[in-house]
Chain A
Amino acid sequence: MVDITPADAVPPAEVAEMELYHPHSWWTKYVFSQDAKVIAIQYSATATAIGMVALVLSWLMRLQLGFPGTFDFITPEAYYQFITMHGMIMVIYLLTALFLGGFGNYLIPLMVGARDMVFPYVNMLSYWIYLLAVLVLVSSFFAPGGPTGAGWTLYPPQAIMTGTPGGQDWGIILMLVSLILFIVGFTMGGLNYVVTVLQGRTRGMTLMRLPLTVWGIFTATVMALLAFPALFVACVMMLLDRALGTSFFMPAIVEMGEQLQHGGGSPILFQHLFWFFGHPEVYIVALPAFGIVSDLISTHARKNIFGYRMMVWAIVGIGALSFVVWAHHMYVSGMHPYFGFFFATTTLIIAVPTAIKVYNWVLTLWRGDIHLTIPMLFALAFIVTFVNGGLTGLFLGNVVVDVPLSDTMFVVAHFHMVMGVAPIIVIFGAIYHWYPKVTGRMLNETLGRFHFWVTFLGAYLIFFPMHYLGLMGVPRRYNELTDMTVMTESAHHLNSFISIMAFIVGFAQIVFLFNLIWSIRHGREAGGNPWRATTLEWQTPETPPAHGNFGKDLPIVYRWAYDYSVPGAKEDFIPQNIPGSFAPSREPA
């Protein structure tokens, strides 16, 4: 790719200044706000709140697994409800909403030099529909029969049958309705993010000058707009199966000695639809993390990102490839074995762009001026956990290895490492990094370091032993493991150990939440650009940025986002909006 925009020329404005909506009252300023920054905070707060519910659910599961038979209230039904809600909340309502709705809303307009998202009103609706989806989800805890216990993948036929908690009660219906609402709300926001990046950039901001954070969030949003339709359709069809008695997914089936009215449907069809959404979803969560971590590493190692263009192409390539690998989640579903061959091949090909990214992060660090700030610590921790989870992904991508491992704790270890721990660690790093811009104050350093070490080491101690459990043959999805032959005494000890670590890591998150709230008033004053970063959000005239982001005139961009430690420059960073030709305006070709 050739960056043909010269370093010194100021391209004329192609787009007139956008008309901003100016709030008239407290309500329209802070509650029904059309300002992307407020919407971002609303999204983040809601996602964090529902995420805490999922955290507590994971504790309850670990109580049962670590100390079986001790807690009477965790019945098998309750255990399945915890598993289902924990998975669904973490993947969709926490990670997707926080990365795209939270970070996307806050960072996209600031980083591309826009006043706001292109359609602030639609953006506001997006949040309120998301909130409604969360409320519907929460309401299923209080519905008769409780929430659904179908597993987070909601596989039919069991998802809507009597034996499954919530299957013939309200649980599954509320879950499906909540997902449909989430998709509607997300689409409204997602259209905004995509159009803002494509059409709403400031003068001089070519696509190849975008910070990688924006590239990651942008690509993930495009993927979400194409992947969520499959989940939407699957939800509608299952809702019809459950509510109207259609048979899209329901084969002829006997339940409790009684022939059900259903017949002729295909459960595999649901799995294909679900995973056509579900696999891109992994990267919808991972790509923003990739982008953010690239910026964290570059900023805190005071060095330009290694191979910027390859990083961009890797993001785009991973996004495209992730649409042709979905059936590697279905090796044991009974689909045609030749499919397995195809999907194993595509799955392993994804390792190539992913490996490019990991090498480039490491090469960015190489001989950099590494500052071990808290965001940097989290970024380094991400590389470790992500490589770990990625390598087990290569195991599981092969059919012959996956078949014996697919119903064991090995899979639990794998996906928690790669799409649980890794992205959440990036979220923490990103919060420590951007909190000063959002609030004007730094988070407390001591509490932050405590939070980092407990979270990083603790998460490792939770999920690494699970690989061993999996290789021993300990099955996942079982709430009661006491009498199984694979459960040796050492396996039981390991399980109890994992549970104790889970509690410690969970409590560290409470310290983190305390830090978030405490530092709003008592944190150290941050100033406008505490990390001496180059990207536009740190160049705003006010901190936190005011309505409209950039004062009277929008910034003009003269260079890429990674001019760190440029030889001959006065300081070790040159913001994107500083003109001058002594430094390369882009990665040398």
Chain B
Amino acid sequence: MAETTLTHIGRTEPRPAGWQGIAADWSSDQRAFKNVSWGKAMMWIFLLSDTFIFGCFLLSYMTARISTRVPWPNPSEVFALRIGGSDIPLILIAIMTFVLISSSGTMAMAVNFGYRRDRRKTAVLMLLTAALGATFVGMQAFEWTKLITEGVRPWGNPWGAAQFGASFFMITGFHGTHVTIGVIFLIIVARKVWRGDYDVGRPGFFTSRRGRYENVEIMGLYWHFVDLVWVFIFAFFYLW
């Protein structure tokens, strides 16, 4: 397993400048990205691929929304909650967004405490992140239920273009699946941290690889990505 820190690469020759220098660094010996472990590189590349998936989903949704000949339901009204006698637009979505962004904060703190080898705080913060993520999914379930009872279906809704419900369930469902998978893995990694697996280098159950505290950070990369995607969904689906 690759070590994260690069101590000394032992190169003394003059290094080329400018574009040639960039190309030479990239194509240099053994590793294109110095200081990047295998696991982290793999997560970054996976996230790049996943970006294309969400990008295609959002572009398809935008195509449908631009080209529809019937009115698109107004998100401010559809996603309003009646609280205290008045309709507050997007209130639930606002809370959901707040919860998910906060979970990114707790995740970042968990990474920090992980590198300080503070097992207890790391595990607690990861579990807190997982709890916030689960809250998000729970509120999403509430939102789905509300829309379904109001008559929104993948094939139609009372207010306009049928693609509204189709895109909504597909995109938020796909994102919610990502959050759910994230929550499951957060709990798994938190358990490993709590048990001290990364201190004693205990081999993984399936992979028989020894984990390191860097796994917390790799988990964090995924989690921040899922948050970032939500920001785009929020902007393009709810605010548009």
Contacts and interface: CB of A to CB of B under 8 A. Distances in A.
Interface of A: 1-6, 11-16, 18-19, 21, 118-119, 121, 187, 191-192, 194-195, 198-208, 225-226, 228-230, 232-234, 236-237, 240, 244-248, 261, 263-266, 269, 273, 276
Contact of B57 (A2, A5, A202, A233): A233
17 contacts: A5-B29, A14-B29, A14-B31, A15-B2, A21-B207, A21-B208, A119-B42, A121-B207, A192-B42, A200-B38, A207-B28, A226-B49, A226-B52, A229-B55, A244-B155, A247-B155, A269-B63
Given A14-B9, A199-B33, A233 B60 contact: yes
A176 to B, nearest CB: 14
B92 to A, nearest CB: 24
A264 B170 contact: no
Nearest to B26: A207
A2 B20 contact: yes
Contacts of A118: 2, 38, 42
Interface string B1-40: 1110010111101011000100110111111111011110
Chain A binding site: helix, strand, loop or mixed by DSSP?
Answer: loop
Given A1-B20, A199-B33, A206-B27, A273 B60 contact: yes
The 3 closest A-B pairs by CB, nearest first: A207-B27, A229-B52, A246-B166
A367 B116 CA distance: 63
Nearest to A207: B27
Given A2-B16, A121-B208, 14 more contacts: A12-B9, A192-B42, A195-B42, A198-B33, A204-B29, A229-B53, A229-B56, A230-B52, A237-B60, A245-B154, A245-B155, A246-B162, A247-B163, A273-B56
B2 A246 contact: no
Interface string B200-240: 00000011111000000000000000000000000000000
B163 A187 contact: no
B60 A232 contact: no
Contacts of A207: 26-28, 32
B83 to A, nearest CB: 32
Contact of B31 (A1, A121, A199): A199
B88 interface: no
Contact of B8 (A12, A119, A198, A264): A12
A244 B154 contact: yes
Nearest to B53: A229
Nearest to B63: A269
B42 A237 contact: no
A265 B163 contact: yes
Contact of B162 (A11, A192, A264): A264
Contact of B53 (A3, A191, A201, A232): A232
Given A195-B45, A225-B45, A226-B52, A201 B30 contact: yes
B210 A19 contact: yes
Nearest to A16: B3
A195 to B, nearest CB: 5
A286 to B, nearest CB: 21
Nearest to B52: A229
Q: Which of A206, A240, A246 has the most CB of B within 10 A?
A: A246
Contacts of A119: 38-39, 42, 207
Contacts of B28: 4-5, 206-207
Nearest to B28: A206
Nearest to B162: A247
B181 interface: no
Given A226-B49, A246-B154, A15 B31 contact: yes
B82 interface: no
B68 interface: yes
B209 A121 contact: yes
Given A195-B42, A264-B163, A240 B31 contact: no
Contact of A198 (B31, B53, B69, B209): B31
B4 to A, nearest CB: 10
Given A16-B1, A245-B154, A11 B9 contact: yes
B52 A201 contact: no
Contacts of A1: 20, 23-24, 27
Contacts of B37: 199
Contacts of B48: 225-226
Given A16-B3, A237-B170, A246-B162, A205 B38 contact: no
A245 B29 CA distance: 54
Contacts of B63: 266, 269
A229 B55 CA distance: 9
Given A199-B32, A247-B163, A6 B10 contact: no
A300 B72 CA distance: 64
Contacts of B207: 21, 119, 121
Contacts of B1: 16, 18-19
Given A4-B13, A244-B154, A264 B41 contact: no
B139 interface: no
B154 to A, nearest CB: 5
Interface string B156-175: 00000111011000100010
A191 B56 contact: no
Nearest to A226: B52
A15 B4 CA distance: 9
A222 B16 CA distance: 27
Contact of A264 (B23, B45, B161): B161
Nearest to B1: A19
Contacts of A5: 28-29
A357 B213 CA distance: 46
B60 A248 contact: yes
B98 interface: no
B64 interface: yes
